[in-house]
């Protein structure tokens, strides 16, 4: 028997950092535990326990804000990892001895502690506590987000900080795709994820790459299993049998070839006797098969010794099972690596579906917009607009739950899409005409409508409305979730429904890795993501695969840019200059070689006049460079015509003959009743629009071509009188 145990340890060291003992079908544990550690040693409220293959024991202590470490044979801790830890919950240790631990801080994170380090290194930002942590055989780090109803993961082997949602929708529920307060997690060597779904009283199995779980124990399982009440921990042995910590029933359960049974804490009530537990949280095996349990409410760690004399399997059969397990693990790793390298996405050369006009250094638009569609056409609260390269115009009519479509040059909608979506917020159309519509608020999804379809199909599952949608040139779909302060993405070519968090932590904040109410989004051909960060009054640039962003406009930008107040839309032109919808300032601003400036809605006040906007939300260009704006508060779509897009000067340079002369008797173009006393400056552009600066009345009067009276007046400040 001792030889068999030594071989088990060697096998596990080569593959896993934790113990997966192989038990006999009739294995049992002494019902009376010994107390390994009590409150005097580690403080109150032990949460998580991890035992590596060298039988080094790690325990997170909430009260002591530390991780306590015991080497095999020691009865007192040999190390206390504290540093910048606060209220630690989840814990995992790798074969290299690196400790990954959840820690409270303003943004939520997992820290990594290396051997002999005095402080942890932030590895994953989560915005919420990780009630459990796991690292699989491909070096992917998992976090169980109890308060966010999700499990997220990130690779520790790549530079990217992007998080992938591998289980849960972000909304509490009991369907196969949902979780309700997930706690303990475990990933086997096939990369299948097991979740202790606390408030659903079940254990969920999410097979690799799948977002729909299978209930393998507890409420709703297809096969008879066992009744659970608040499971918090889940561990597997070498034969993939389950060991479940049942928090509210104060016991540990296990499965085997004959089904489920109670293993320890089976007295029927919680308590502090040696055969009782009180709200246990987690368990871990040592290499001998002894079971260690965090007995939370009793403020102790209990050790239940295995009754080894009941096991009678032969050494030969045991060795065969272990070798098979290790070979399978190695095969899975190789298979996964091969699959990943075949799925490497190379930059696409295909055309984009939207317009990116190339403007000169000083493009300008007629300040007076034309009403393209009013509330009789688009209803109240038109919010999203998209114009494709054929100048087909798509408008989201949020009030009527419709999508209105104008084909090129039509003056009224030629098609209306009515579906089961409710208060849609955004839209995107691809080059093949597929329409992606936000349907997140009521139905938790993004729908795709193909040409002439009568119903849309869900292509992405989300936890809130998508205030912005975008499909990049590699057919990755992005959704900005205003309410959850995140941007998520999902490949449209993947069979999996897994989404990746590409921006934001899920908490509202203003640091470089956080967002607060993200709205419009834009992804350029380098896969850099631009986000209109509404409540932070800024535009954030997340370079490809980075979760820390750069502020390129608005509050906190390193360079002098422009003041923003609630930006909701962001678009780029062919030269990557920015065009921003400044919602609360009721205007559109843009960048160029000389910095930022106001483009339309520049009167300084909101309103319904042709040169005014009231809470604009999105913009889109047609192929001619004309600007269409969803004028949300005025229930209309405004079209601002591009006036000049040449590289010629804006002023006139006539070519005169040598003997050119002018009539000496002038006609009065404007007198004091129009321009006031002491008109000072005058400018005439190449469209013969005339601008006059009135010194005494502090006005700029503007005459458009051939008008006999001013067609626009710009009010300035009165001059100071000494």
* pLDDT band, very low/low/confident/very high, at 334 (cuts 50, 70, 90): very low
CA distance 182 to 180: 6
Give residue-wise pLDDT tens across range 474-507.
Answer: 999 999 999 999 999 999 998 777 899 999 988 8
Rounded average pLDDT over 93-122: 85
Tell me which of 648 and 150 has the higher pLDDT. 150
Give residue-wise pLDDT tens across range 530-553.
Answer: 999 999 999 999 999 888 899 999
Contact (CB, 8 A) for 67 and 301 = no
Rounded average pLDDT over 86-93: 91
DSSP string across 364-404: EE-SS-EEEE-HHHH-S-EEEEEEBTT--EEEEETTTTEEE
Tell me which of 35 and 325 has the higher pLDDT. 35
pLDDT at 718: 55
CA distance 195 to 179: 9
Nearest to 98 by CA among 65, 74, 63, 69: 69
pLDDT at 387: 97
Tell me which of 652 and 577 has the higher pLDDT. 577
Nearest to 440 by CA among 454, 417, 420, 418: 420
List the CATH code of the domain at 368-640. 2.120.10.30
* pLDDT band, very low/low/confident/very high, at 119 (cuts 50, 70, 90): confident
The sheet carrying 382-387 orders its strands as 382-387, 393-397, 402-406, 415-418
Q: Do the domains 42-322 and 368-640 sit in the same CATH topology, yes or no?
A: yes
Cβ-based neighbour number of residue 174 at 10 Å: 15
No. of helices (H) and no. of strands (E), the chain: 6, 54
Radius of gyration, CA atoms only, the chain: 33
Tokens 């419709």, located at residue: 402
Nearest to 587 by CA among 561, 571, 569: 569
Residue 48 phi, psi (nearest 5):
-125, 155
Tell me which of 110 and 497 has the higher pLDDT. 110
pLDDT at 8 > cutoff 70: no
Q: Region of 118 please: left (phi>0), alpha (psi -120 to 50) or beta.
A: alpha
Tell me which of 676 and 354 has the higher pLDDT. 354
Give residue-wise pLDDT tens across range 61-75.
Answer: 888 888 999 999 998
pLDDT at 648: 64
pLDDT at 506: 87
Percent of the residues in the chain that have a pLDDT greater than 70, as a whole number: 90
pLDDT at 411 > cutoff 80: yes
* pLDDT band, very low/low/confident/very high, at 6 (cuts 50, 70, 90): very low
Tell me which of 485 and 362 has the higher pLDDT. 485
Q: Residue 521 has what DSSP assignment? A: E
pLDDT at 662 > cutoff 70: yes
* pLDDT band, very low/low/confident/very high, at 149 (cuts 50, 70, 90): very high
Q: What is the pTM of this model?
A: 0.74
* pLDDT band, very low/low/confident/very high, at 209 (cuts 50, 70, 90): confident
Rounded average pLDDT over 151-175: 89
Tokens 């205003």, located at residue: 482
Contact (CB, 8 A) for 642 and 624 = yes
pLDDT at 231: 98
pLDDT at 628 > cutoff 90: yes
Total count of residues recorded for the chain = 722
Domain locations in the chain?
42-322, 368-640, 673-715
pLDDT at 613: 97
Q: Residue 263 has what DSSP assignment? A: E
Rounded average pLDDT over 242-266: 96
Nearest to 242 by CA among 325, 301, 184, 302: 184
pLDDT at 343: 35
CA distance 21 to 12: 9
Mean pLDDT of the chain: 87
CA distance 589 to 570: 10
Beta bridge partners of 197: 182, 202
Q: Which CATH number fits domain 42-322: 2.120.10.30, 3.10.20.30, 3.30.300.90, 3.40.50.720?
A: 2.120.10.30
Lowest mean pLDDT among 271-275, 280-284, 494-498, 703-707: 494-498
CA distance 420 to 367: 38
Paired tokens of 182: 């997930």
Tell me which of 626 and 339 has the higher pLDDT. 626
Beta bridge partners of 499: 165
Paired tokens of 527: 């896969």
Contact (CB, 8 A) for 242 and 194 = yes
Contact (CB, 8 A) for 594 and 361 = yes
Paired tokens of 101: 């631990």
Give residue-wise pLDDT tens across range 559-590.
Answer: 889 999 999 999 999 999 999 999 999 999 99
The secondary structure of the chain in percent helix, strand, coil, rounded to multiples of 5, reads 10, 40, 50
Task: Show Cβ contacts of residue 674 under 8 Å, excluding neighbours closer than 6 positions.
Answer: 701, 709, 710
Half-sphere exposure in the Cβ direction for 435 (13 Å, CA): 32
């Amino acid at each position: 028997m001792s030889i068999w145990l030594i071989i088990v340890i060697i096998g596990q060291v080569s593959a896993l950092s934790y113990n997966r003992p192989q038990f006999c079908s009739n294995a049992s544990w002494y019902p009376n535990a010994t107390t390994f550690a009590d409150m005097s040693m580690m403080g109150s409220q032990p949460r998580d326990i991890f035992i590596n293959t060298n039988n080094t024991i790690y325990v997170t202590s909430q009260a002591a804000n530390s991780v306590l470490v015991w080497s095999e044979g020691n009865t007192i801790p040999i190390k206390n990892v504290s540093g910048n830890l606060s209220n630690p919950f989840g814990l995992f240790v790798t074969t290299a001895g690196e400790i990954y631990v959840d820690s409270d801080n303003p943004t939520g994170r997992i820290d990594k502690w290396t051997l002999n380090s005095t402080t942890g290194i932030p590895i994953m930002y989560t915005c919420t506590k990780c009630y459990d942590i796991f690292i699989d055989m491909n070096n992917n780090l998992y976090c169980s987000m109890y308060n966010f109803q999700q499990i997220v993961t990130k690779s520790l082997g790549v530079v990217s900080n992007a998080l992938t949602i591998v289980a849960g929708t972000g909304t509490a529920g009991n369907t196969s795709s949902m979780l309700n307060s997930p706690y303990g997690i475990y990933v086997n060597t096939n990369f299948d994820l097991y979740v202790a779904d606390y408030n659903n009283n079940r254990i969920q199995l999410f097979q690799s790459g799948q977002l729909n779980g299978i209930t393998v124990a507890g409420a709703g399982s297809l096969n008879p299993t066992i009744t659970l009440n608040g499971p918090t921990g889940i561990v597997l042995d070498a034969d993939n049998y389950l060991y479940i910590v049942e928090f509210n029933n104060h016991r540990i359960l296990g499965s085997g070839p004959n089904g489920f049974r109670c293993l320890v804490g089976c007295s029927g009530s919680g308590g502090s006797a040696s055969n009782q537990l009180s709200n246990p949280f987690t368990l871990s095996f040592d290499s001998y098969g002894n079971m260690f349990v965090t007995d939370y409410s009793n403020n102790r760690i209990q050790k239940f010794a295995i009754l080894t004399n009941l096991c009678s399997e032969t050494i030969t059969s045991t060795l065969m099972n272990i070798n098979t397990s290790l070979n399978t693990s190695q095969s899975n790793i190789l298979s996964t690596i091969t699959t990943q390298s075949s799925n490497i996405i190379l930059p696409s050369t295909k055309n984009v579906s939207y317009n990116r006009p190339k403007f000169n250094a000083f493009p300008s638009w007629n300040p007076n917009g034309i009403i393209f569609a009013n509330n009789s056409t688009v209803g109240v609260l038109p919010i999203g607009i998209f114009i494709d390269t054929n100048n087909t115009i798509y408008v989201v009519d949020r009030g009527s739950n419709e999508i209105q479509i104008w084909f090129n040059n039509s003056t009224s909608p030629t098609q209306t899409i009515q579906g089961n979506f409710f208060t849609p917020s955004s839209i995107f159309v691809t080059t093949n005409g597929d329409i992606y519509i936000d349907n997140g608020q009521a139905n938790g999804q993004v729908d795709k409508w193909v040409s002439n379809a009568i119903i849309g199909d869900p292509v992405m599952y989300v936890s809130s409305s998508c205030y912005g949608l975008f499909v990049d040139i590699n057919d990755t779909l992005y959704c900005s979730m205003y309410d959850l302060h995140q941007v998520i993405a999902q490949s449209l070519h993947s069979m999996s429904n897994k989404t990746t968090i590409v921006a934001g932590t899920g908490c509202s904040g203003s640091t470089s890795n956080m967002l607060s109410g993200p709205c419009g989004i834009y992804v350029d051909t380098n896969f850099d993501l631009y986000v209109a960060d509404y409540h932070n009054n800024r535009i954030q640039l997340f370079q490809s695969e980075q979760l820390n962003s750069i502020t390129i406009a608005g509050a906190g930008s390193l360079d002098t840019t422009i003041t923003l107040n609630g930006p909701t839309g962001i678009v780029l032109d062919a030269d990557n200059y920015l065009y921003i919808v400044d919602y609360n300032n009721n205007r559109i601003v843009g960048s160029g070689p000389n910095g930022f400036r106001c483009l339309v809605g520049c009167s300084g006040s909101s309103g319904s006049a042709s040169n005014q906007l009231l809470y604009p939300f999105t913009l889109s260009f047609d192929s001619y460079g004309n600007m269409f704006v969803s004028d949300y508060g005025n229930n209309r779509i405004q079209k601002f015509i591009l006036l000049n897009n040449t590289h010629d000067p804006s002023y006139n340079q006539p070519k005169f003959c040598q003997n050119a002369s002018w009539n000496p008797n002038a006609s009065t173009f404007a007198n004091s009743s129009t321009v006031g006393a002491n008109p000072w400056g005058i400018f005439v552009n190449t469209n013969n629009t005339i601008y006059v600066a009135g010194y005494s009345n502090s006005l700029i009067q503007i005459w458009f071509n051939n008008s006999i009276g001013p067609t626009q007046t710009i009010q300035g400040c009165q001059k100071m009188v000494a």
